[in-house]
Amino acid sequence: MADHIEEKIKNYRTAPFDARFPNTNQTRNCYQNYLDFHRCNKALSDKGQETSPCDWYQRVYKSLCPMSWVERWDGQIEDGNFAGRV
Per the CB < 8 A criterion, the answer to whether 84 and 37 are in contact is no
Distances (CA, A) of 66 to 10, 45, 54, 58, 73: 23, 27, 20, 13, 11
Instruction: Indicate whether 8 belongs to the interface with another protein (CB under 8 A).
Output: no
Nearer to another protein, 15 or 40 (CB): 15
Give the single-character DSSP code of 52.
G
Fill in the per-residue mask, 57 to 86: x = in contact with another protein (CB under 8 A), - = not in contact. --x--xxxxxxx------------------
Q: Which of 3, 11, 20, 24 binds another protein (CB under 8 A)?
A: 24
Q: Which residues bind another protein (CB under 8 A)?
A: 12-17, 22, 24-27, 29-30, 59, 62-68
